[in-house]
């Protein structure tokens, strides 16, 4: 990038925007402007006070366009790919956000949920939060990631099959069984049965059991059949409760309403689905 001598950080930002870029690093800006890091930090701090810059991670900056000044940050989808490249982490946008992008959600998604291979603290991003969830074996699911076009480029999201499995794996952060059942009612018809079964071997047995039960209950048994074969490969198959035990609640003393032999899932309460 060619800048005139004496250009300011604000000049640099305008030049980036004219080229379609929304983010940059402190090192890039300091080099382009020919200034010391301390001088850059002082200029960046002034623009942050004016809400023209957003600094979600050390050394990484996001330009705030005029239409998002009151929000204090543009949508995370505009810069998440650049941010994770800056962090040097493999990632994908998943869970409730991915379900929304696949057209299968009935509620506004308040968190921008990202799965990555490092435990990262959440980021307050204007009116929402970017929340990170840890997955140790990202290599096992890399073939199930898709490129999703955004207003400023693209980002990686989980496939419909990976999203379905993740919703049960991270059940505690997606609103519980009722929320997942509501999503799977729509998402189930988008699932490729063979892709789902192939991917399932990288997930816990309990995740497969709960997903299989819900798919059957929601009328997607043709999708769940290959999934059951994946489950049987993990024999023996102990019983599991549809809703994981909550440490804050005592163990349920009453017998289950249903004991599903096909998936070996004990159901104390059938999920409620939002229409």
Q: What is the pLDDT of residue 106?
A: 74
Residues 142 and 261 placed together within one structural domain of the fold: yes
Average pLDDT, the chain: 93
> Which residue carries 């990631």 as its tokens?
145
Q: Does some domain include residue 120?
A: yes
Q: What is the pLDDT of residue 90?
A: 96
Residues 159 and 238 placed together within one structural domain of the fold: yes
The pLDDT tens digits for 64-123 are 999 999 999 999 999 999 999 999 999 999 999 999 999 997 777 889 999 999 999 999
HSE-CB for 94 with a 13 A CA cutoff: 30
% of the chain surpassing 90 pLDDT: 85
Residues 97 and 41 placed together within one structural domain of the fold: no
Residues 155 and 262 placed together within one structural domain of the fold: yes
CA–CA separation, 40 vs 30, rounded Å? 6
Q: Does some domain include residue 163?
A: yes
Residues 65 and 84 placed together within one structural domain of the fold: no
Residues 89 and 210 placed together within one structural domain of the fold: yes
SS3 content of the chain, % helix, strand, coil (to 5): 45, 20, 40
The pLDDT tens digits for 33-45 are 999 999 999 999 9
Give me the number of domains the chain comprises. Answer: 2
**Structural domain harbouring 102:** 80-267
CATH of the domain at 27: 1.10.10.10
The pLDDT tens digits for 8-31 are 999 999 999 999 999 999 999 999
> Which residue carries 């096992």 as its tokens?
140
């Amino acid at each position: 990038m060619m800048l005139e001598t004496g250009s300011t950080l604000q000049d640099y930002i305008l030049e980036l925007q004219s080229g379609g870029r929304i983010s940059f690093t402190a090192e890039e800006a300091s080099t382009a402007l020919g200034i010391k890091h301390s001088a850059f930090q002082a200029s960046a701090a002034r623009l942050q006070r004016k809400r023209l810059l957003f600094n979600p991670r050390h050394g990484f900056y996001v330009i705030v366009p005029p239409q998002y000044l009151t929000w204090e940050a543009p949508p995370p989808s505009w810069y998440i790919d650049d941010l994770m490249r800056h962090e040097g982490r493999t990632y994908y946008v998943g869970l409730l956000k991915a379900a929304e992008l696949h057209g299968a959600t009935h509620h506004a998604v308040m968190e921008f949920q990202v799965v990555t291979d490092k435990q990262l603290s959440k980021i307050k991003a204007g009116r929402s939060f970017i929340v990170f969830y840890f997955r140790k074996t990202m290599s096992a699911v890399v073939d199930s990631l898709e490129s999703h076009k955004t207003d400023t480029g693209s980002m990686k999201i989980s496939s419909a099959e990976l999203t379905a499995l993740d919703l049960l794996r991270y059940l505690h952060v997606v609103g519980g069984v009722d929320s997942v059942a509501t999503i799977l009612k729509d998402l189930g018809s988008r699932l490729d049965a063979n892709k789902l079964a192939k991917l399932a071997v990288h997930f816990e047995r309990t995740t497969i059991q709960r997903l299989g039960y819900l798919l059957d209950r929601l009328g997607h048994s043709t999708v769940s059949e290959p999934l059951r074969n994946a489950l049987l490969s993990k024999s023996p198959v102990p019983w599991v409760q549809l809703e994981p035990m909550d440490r804050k609640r005592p163990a349920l003393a009453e017998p289950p309403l249903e004991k599903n032999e096909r998936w070996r899932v004990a159901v104390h309460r059938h999920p409620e689905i939002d229409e």
